[in-house]
Chain A
Amino acid sequence: MSYRSGFLVVVALTAGVAAAFGYTGGWFSPHRLGPQRMIAALEAAGGVHPGFRRNHAKGLCVTGYFDSNGAGARLSKAVVFASGRVPVVGRLALAGGQPFQPDAARTTRSFALRFTLPDGEEWRTGMNAIPVFPFRTPRAFYEQLVASRPDPATGKPAPRRMAEFLGAHPETARALKVLGDQPVSSGFADSTFNSLDAFRFVAATGASVPVRWALVPIQAFSADESAAAGSRAPNYLFDAVVTTLQHQPLQWHLVVTIAQPGDPTNDATQAWPADREQVDIGTLTIDHAQGEDGGACRDINFDPLVLPSGIEPSDDPLLSARSAAYARSFTLRAGETKAPSAVQTAPAAGGDRP
């Protein structure tokens, strides 16, 4: 091989490896949906608020414990489902990227939890007080964010673009109908929070079943009456939690729903049939609230794919997307200076209760 051709081979091979690296990183794929674009779309919708989560930005830290009754152990070998108590750090929040939005009954409420298992494993889960999720794929979620972006000319979302989106996504239109028909409860305490996404429980025998889970309140349901009550305090939903916890804890049953063959595990817009087996696997007790600035939940990324052995992801495409986008959101806010959160608590709210 001549010097010249040898040199060309060296350059071609080196450039080829570099190009393959760039291709893998999406440098030549402007349409690839990555966490950066997802976060940029959330910021375009909710504004840029340094130091805050890019979605579910307004929240309150809570702590307590989970008492497993052992009924989940036949379904999953996860240590958390053996009978016993594990500590929990949680976060109650409202959907949306605006950390100072006034509480509103129709804004989606969420409950995120981190269970710390005795063997050092963790289980993190983020649940929403809606029966189904409006979007089946991360692409649809992204397109909806873009479609609902305010028109620069009018300052409001263009209704035509949202109509086009719903026309292309009938599953979203169906899910929004289900959400609209859902009675709204009076607050966080009497809300049912759903995992929405499906997971797999893996038993010690190796048997695996698709599941979804929900926090079902022990507090009795009462319908939202904010419309009749007129204007409410801007943090009325969170204030109610803080006030209640000064007198008594809040409790939810953790209920697992087991899918039958054919039930969709990759489509969070569809509920499973109502007759599916449900197993109450324990009780969550929340007994303290803390404003998130100094609260235990502040630095927790409630990544739904932080799972203990015995719980595995399903083929639901939203799971990886949530994990990737939450990681990006966490990385951004960890390096930013944050303004004080909207919801504050007096030091050790509920702490003087025995």
Chain B
Amino acid sequence: MNGAPQFTAVTRLLHWLMAAMVLTMLFIGVGMVSTVSGRYHALVSIHRPLGIAIFVLVLIRLVNRWLHPGPPLPAHLNSLERFAAKASQVVLYALMIAMPLVGWGMLSAAPYPIVLAGSVHLPPILPHSAALYAILRRAHTVLAYAFFATFLAHFGAALVHGLIYRDGVFTSMMPWKVRPRDSSSSA
């Protein structure tokens, strides 16, 4: 190995691309429901196709993760930290899958046309039911806040690894190739 232990280039690309998309999505979501200004329509028009793009990418990412699991966590982490690391990843993946499906489902139940761009639209995935729409619309909000909270925990933990522990966890997902800090890591 001629570098520090890192996820594959494809994994890192998917990670940072989706990080930008998901964070954009969360900010668009909280912003668009807060205003009746002209920004509302512009934001909604981005929100739908961006959500579907995230859904497609997360499925690709799950396959990629299964093919390339990446480097193990460092040995110094205690069992609570290991659990937090694994659990937050499971939650993030679950939300990346659930949020677009809940969004698609609630538009289906309302029913609204699910417009991606121009005349391109998706079929409904649930039957028409106002009561079901109300539940899913509520779930979309609750899950979005849970998503942002989990993102903050993930972001904070990554910074702790990168700035305080400096244990290679942060560098393992760096967008660029990182040289090892000492020769032992390339053994």
Contact = CB atoms under 8 A, between A and B. Distances in A.
Interface of A: 1, 3, 6-7, 9-11, 13-14, 17-18, 20-21, 24-26, 29, 32-35, 38, 79, 119-122, 138, 298-299, 301, 303, 305-306, 308-309, 313, 315, 317, 319-321, 323-325, 330-331, 333-335
Contact of B131 (A10, A18, A334): A334
Interface string B17-47: 0000000001100111111111111001000
A34 B110 contact: no
A33 B112 contact: no
A26 B39 CA distance: 13
B110 A330 contact: yes
Given A10-B163, A24-B27, A308-B119, A317 B38 contact: yes
A32 B35 contact: yes
A334 B35 CA distance: 21
Nearest to B132: A334
A120 B163 contact: no
A305 B41 contact: yes
A335 B113 contact: no
A25 B118 contact: no
Contacts, number: 121
A9 B31 CA distance: 27
Interface in B107-158: 110-113, 115, 118-119, 121, 123, 128, 130-131, 133-135, 137-138, 148, 152, 155-156
12 contacts: A9-B159, A9-B163, A13-B159, A33-B36, A34-B34, A120-B123, A121-B119, A319-B41, A324-B36, A325-B36, A334-B110, A334-B130
B62 interface: no
A328 to B, nearest CB: 8
Interface of B: 26-27, 30-41, 44, 110-113, 115, 118-119, 121, 123, 128, 130-131, 133-135, 137-138, 148, 152, 155-156, 159-160, 163-164
A299 B128 contact: yes
Residue in B32, B37, B115, B123 with the greatest tally of chain A CB atoms within 10 Å: B37
B88 to A, nearest CB: 14
Contact of B40 (A3, A11, A323): A323
A13 B38 CA distance: 31
Given A9-B163, A321-B40, A34 B121 contact: no
Contact of B36 (A34, A121, A305, A306): A34
